[in-house]
Structure 1
Amino acid sequence: MNDLGDRFVSRAEIARLAGVRRPAVSNWERRHPDTFPRPASAGEDGTELFRAAEVVDWLDHRAIPANARENGEPAGTTYGDRFRAGLQGGAEAAPKTPAPAPDTLVRGVEQALAQHGGTVSPEHVEMLLALLCLRGSRPEAWRALSSAAAGTTPPEPTELCRRITSDLPVRLSPTTLQTWQEGGRSLVEAIRLIDTHGTGERSECVAAFDHLIEWAARTGPARTAGEFFTPPSITRTVTRLLAPSVDAAEVHDPFCRTGEMLAAIVDTRGVSGRTRPLRVSGAGTPDFSLRLARLGMDLRGYDPADLVQGASTPSEYTAPLRRKVDLLVTNPPFNTRVPESPRNTGHWRYGPPPPHRANFDWLQYAVDSLSADGRACVVMAAGATFSNSSRERQIRSAMVTDGAVECVVELPPGLFFPTGIAVTLWLLRAPTGSCEEVLFITARAMGTMATRAVRSLSEQESDAIAHEYHAWRDSGGTGGAYRGSPGFSRAVGLDEIRANDYALTPSRYVSPVPETDSAPARKDSLGRLSAKLVRLHEEAARIDAFVESILRRHDV
């Protein structure tokens, strides 16, 4: 089995060593009563104990979702890897770069990609994702397909494509099918590689699916990568801000890209111990991204039909969302144009956005879509917090005074693969009619360079941002005074926001931590540097937004 001997662990220790919250362990027991280890002993206080050897064997078959992996944990890392490393030297001593075992499903996918050298096309990616979906969600159909491919005379690629599409609820692109039908034995080899690696459990297929999408975004054309994928450190931060705060009946993403924001919410709830049924819905564009989102939802056990064709702005929707949702997450395209003849303007409760920038089209749509206790998190270009457009300033001020804006989080630049543009997270709620204060969090100093061009937030940094938001919300619910964290967060009243012309740039309100020096000259210098830093941040974001709009206009 392994070399852990007669070591025993409690449920709390399992959670700590595996890096999950305590309810996740109870959730695993409830969902897998036939395979999860049974208590083998009891402590002096009566606490049930499990054999560590049996626990780690079970956790070895549970791959960590992409949005839950820590920095340095490659795709294919399992909860067993974390657990074992924690037992050997404490959670803090866990190795940062564990290598996936040679037979993991991720390794099989990588070998299938290697068949095509450096010319992997979207069609190759789509078919491999379809195969992962089939293996993880329809085991009987997969066994029939893999048995046929493993035979001495496997069916022709045309017949294999027919079998794959007949068992999937998502229609693949005709170009994808043609590419693989003309690829000779490539499809047979891809099926064999995916079948002979890993255990094929749904969680492992999900991990391999997420790994392949992230790989495609990183290696694809720079202009399209950001349109089609939200990096894991952003989705992780969004879910930790929102998921614990609302026991949602439905989560909706009006611009779902490849479904990564929805998937992060679903995966987080899967290890949180929550059992309330969750409906997942959304809209997406272009067709390629929407198909991948549907495959990902189907693999996770959700109806792919609830993801429908969308548009680049909500005012273009022919069929706007009629129901109110508890949870809305989205990373919409930045600074796109509002259509000259919008079809859907019912959500413009605070006024029409300027025709050249649809940022406040999205923000108003998010507010209008929420149920009475709902929450939204919208990833938005930093320029939306301070733009001088009269229309945007009017909408921004109306949203604040109506109580629709709870919190604005300033993230570091460089988190997206193709661009260094700085972004913010807007935490929104259904309007209350008044505003007492808004929480501002500045995380511009956070993150480390994952590559030469891309920055990433760590698991601990995402937790720190979420903790600040939840501490502020908890203080409001208990009547306690929220003090904030110097240099990181501050709750600001309406009068101060009004005095700043309703600018919502967090670094305007959160001053850097002063050094221990009471000399007046030093204090004056720090004040001047702080004001200059705010101006530079705003100017950098304005330039980023301007360059981004030029690139989109000229399609380069």
Structure 2
Amino acid sequence: MTAAEISRLAGVTRATVSNWRRRHGDFPPPSGGTETSPLYDLGAVQVWLRSRGHARVADPRAELRTAVRFQAPDPDRATGRIGFVLALARRTSDETAALADLSDAELVARATEEVAELLVSLPGPVPTPPLFSTADGTTLRALLRCVREEGGPAALAVLAERELEDSAATGVHGTPAPLVQLIARLLPTGAARVLDPACGSGALLDAAARRGATTLLGQDSVPVQAQRAAVGLSLSVPRAEVTVRIGDSLRADAFTGRTVDAVLCNPPYGNRDWGHDELAYDPRWAYGVPGRAESELAWVQHCLAHLTPGGWAVLVLPPATASRPSGRRVRAELVRSGAVRAVLALPAGAAPPLHVGLQLWVLQRPEPGGPERKSVLFVDAAGSSSPGTGKQATGSPGTGASRAPLDWADLTARTLAHWEAFTADPDGCVAEPGAARTVPVVDLLDDLVDLTPARQVRISRTDIDPVELSARTDTGRRELTEAARSLLNAADLTGWTEPGAAAREWRTATASDLARGGALTLLRTVPDPKSPEPEGAASASMPPVLTGADIAQGTGPSGDPAELRSGAAPVIAAGDVLVRAIAGGTGPMVRVADEADAGAFLGPQVHLLRPDPARLDSWFLAGFIGAEENVAGASTGSTVLHVAPGRLRVPLLSLDEQRRYGEAFRHVHELRARARRAARLAEETAALLSDGFTGGALLPAAADTGPA
């Protein structure tokens, strides 16, 4: 194990581990690696840590993660560990406590015995015994502790991490808990038999079970995922009938000929090697043979083939599925037959890959002699701006714009409201221009058969109420006028600036010098790629993250805590001085945290300088370190300039003089903020006017020619 893994195991910083190595002669010597990157024996390190009282400092997940990574990959051993989780979950707390008191040899023997009886219930071939050796004692003990303190699902997630790193599977992404709940709620009540042909960890099947499903069928091509799903579902919904198989559902369908009430699926995307040639005459392609680049439409038809007539399916698909020319004929048949009931666009960031706005396709297998389905529902929840609405996009992939955390409660409520209105009355559902609309099937069957929601829900001329648009334009004009007056007031320099007799010379100190003297503290969030993402409700309840983009744009903390892969991110306090870690671009480099920022996590691309208020004024500090010349002198790199905060220089002035400068810099900040607001209102008002004129809702005033 590395020094970094020792720090995670002991719950200390890497610097502490370095100090241990230098100051303690009995610290375990390296057992491998290089002089610059030594490796240490896990057992020897654990013995040393116990002697120093650090045996139980580490988080159970971190301890298990370290123990698993220490051993070489072994599929049979990995299967055995998952089986041990199932065995432990079936024991009482007293029984697991008794296991913890066993020696490593006794624990290995007990685990080998118990897992052997359970292996037949796990997907895949039964491994050849013995599964464990005496070298597995440390790993099994860490696994035991993780199950006892964090639960079986947490242990399964850690075990899957290691195996997925060595998997060749591509395009496989997890499904966030809020999206899982939304997908499950799109199903009608009464779906007792549910299939997920790319089940991953089994989250979608678990959600279906919690809504009444009693028979759960899953398949996944990655063995550890299938095994994890089988064990996880048996633990979370013990009353359900669970069947999970290993294999590629398209090439080797484990449930051929079996139909279900519903299918939920988040399939892999962009896979050209999905079996196009060998499956060309497969009976599942009732709507047309999918093109080589259309693996997603193969998954759509696979799901429909497993539904009973009238059964429902919900799939998570990339947006290109709705518009790619190569899929036009299949899309046309799906629409013409009535199999496509709704296409719902999600905002970017709703699910991995986070830079893509994914879509939910809601499908229903046609019923022979059933009712004719004349329309398709389209919902665009991506938040893009629309003509005549005055709404502005919060950012798009690749622009570097700020992206606020998703309001899943609002997104779910709005989406379900449109869906429930559509299912209650498909032909009489009232449209919400720019957000939702039902489109007749005949209107979709053009040369493109483009099912992109943004294209279908866009506002047309007839959607714009001239009177309402005129009123909103007048409101925008008034707000712009007020903002312009406020900007003029801020631009009045009278009373807070005056010329100096000559350019003043400063005696300065670096931020590092001030930190060493105790005048300020330098903090930063260091991302840890091995740190697990917060899950479900835990992520939703966490405060947002302040990003470098927030500083540049003057917006509130907008980062998603689920993407903050750090074990201990600093929490911002009012008065902290925040500096963007990457120089360049537009907007300010520095910001003084106010009460609205307090409590947010510090983003990974932001430095935090926390001044001692008895020695440093926050606004004084921010004003000087944010100067262009100061930032340039503290930056390194050629194409990307990284700011080294310790090199930023600060004048040495008395606290009273600092406060004078601080008040002046506060005025400068107000000037910038009011200028940004006036510019934004000007753009919004201009957009309303332009859309109104081009859409016909507004007319230019008739010229006053005066008396004839």
Are 1:352 and 2:289 counterparts?
yes
Match of 1:256 among 191, 196, 199: 199
Shift of 1:211: 6.6
Q: Which amino acid aligns with 2:416?
A: A
Residue 485 (structure 1) shift: 2.6
Q: Return the alpha-carbon distance in structure 1 between the equivalents of residues 130 and 693 of structure 2.
A: 67
- Equivalent residue number for residue 344 of structure 2: 409
Superposition pairs of residues 155-554 of structure 1, within 5 angstroms: 155-167=106-118, 169-170=121-122, 181-192=134-145, 194-195=147-148, 197=149, 205=152, 208=154, 216=161, 227=172, 229-242=174-187, 245-267=188-210, 269=211, 274=212, 278-299=214-235, 300-301=237-238, 306-311=243-248, 314=250, 316-317=251-252, 321-337=256-272, 338-342=275-279, 345-389=282-326, 392-417=327-352, 420-432=355-367, 434-445=372-383, 458-476=408-426, 481-499=428-446, 501-511=448-458, 516-517=469-470, 521-523=690-692
Specify the code of the residue in structure 2 equivalent to 1:439: L
CA distance in 2, matches of 1:153, 1:174: 22
Cα distance, 1:362 vs structure 2: 1.2
| Structure with bigger RCO (C-alpha 8 Å, 6+ apart) | 1
- How many matched pairs? 393
Q: For residues 126 and 181 of structure 1, do their structure 2 counterparts lie closer, same or farther at Cα, with a shift above 3 Å needed?
A: farther
- Normalised TM-score (structure 1): 0.60
Report deviation, 1:388. 0.9
Residue from 65, 86, 110 that aligns with 2:61:
110
Distance 1:491 1:279 in 2: 33
TM-score between the two structures when normalised by the length of structure 2: 0.48
Q: Secondary structure at the match of 1:191?
A: helix
Q: What do you get for the CA RMSD once the two structures are aligned?
A: 4.1
State the shift of 1:116 in Å.
3.8
**Paired amino acid for 2:408:** S
Contact 2:294 2:321 in 1 (8 A): no
Check 1:249–1:231 CA distance in 2 against 1; reply closer, same or farther (3 A cut).
same
Q: Take 1:113 and 1:153, find their aligned partners in 2: how far apart are those partners?
A: 15
1:537 corresponds to which residue?
none
Kindly provide the CA deviation profile for residues 201-234 of structure 1, in whole angstroms up to 9, marking residues without a partner as x. Answer: xxx655x468758x949x9689868515222232
The residue type equivalent to 2:262 in the other structure is L
Q: Distance in 2 between matches of 1:494 and 1:407?
A: 11
The amino acid that maps onto 1:288 is: V
Instruction: Output one character per residue of 1:420-440: Cα deviation in whole Å (capped at 9) or x when no partner.
Output: 233211100012574311000
Q: 5 Å matches for 1:52-91?
A: none
Change beyond 3 A, Cα 1:226–1:460: farther
Q: Distance in 1 between matches of 2:96 and 2:118?
A: 10
**Cα distance in structure 1, aligned partners of 2:62 and 2:425:** 52
Deviation at 1:156, TM superposition (A): 4.7
Q: Check the 8 A contact 2:169/2:222 in 1, yes or no.
A: no
Q: Extract unaligned runs of 5+ from structure 2.
A: 1-57, 385-392, 396-401, 474-687, 697-708
Asked whether the equivalents of residues 330 and 379 of structure 1 are also in contact (C-alpha less than 8 Å), the reply is yes
Structure possessing the higher radius of gyration over alpha carbons:
2
Q: Is the 8 A contact 2:313 2:362 kept in 1?
A: yes
After superposition, what is the alpha-carbon deviation per residue over 1:512-531, rounded to whole angstroms, capped at 9, x for unaligned? 6968248874335679xxxx
Offset at 1:189? 4.2
Per-residue CA shift, 1:254-313, capped at 9, x if unaligned? 12122121122123x2xxxx5xx61111221111211111111221216786212231x5
Q: Does the 8 Å contact 1:437/1:493 carry over to 2?
A: yes
Give 2:87's aligned amino acid: L
In structure 2, relative to structure 1, the CA distance for the partners of 1:462 and 1:448 (3 Å cut) is farther
1:139 to 78, 91, 96: 91
C-alpha spacing 1:131/1:283, structure 2 compared with 1 (3 Å): same
Deviation string, structure 1 residues 344-381 (Cα, Å, up to 9, x no partner): 71111111111233221111122222212311001111
- Residue in 1 that maps onto 2:645: none
User: How has the CA–CA distance of structure 1 residues 159 and 454 changed in structure 2, closer, same or farther, with 3 Å as cutoff?
Assistant: farther
Q: Whose helix fraction is larger, Structure 1's or Structure 2's? A: 1
Three-state SS of the structure 2 residue aligned to 1:185 is helix
Q: In 2, are the aligned partners of 1:180 and 1:187 still within 8 Å (CA)?
A: no
1: CA distance, partners of 2:144 / 2:394: 37
* AA aligned opposite 1:443: A
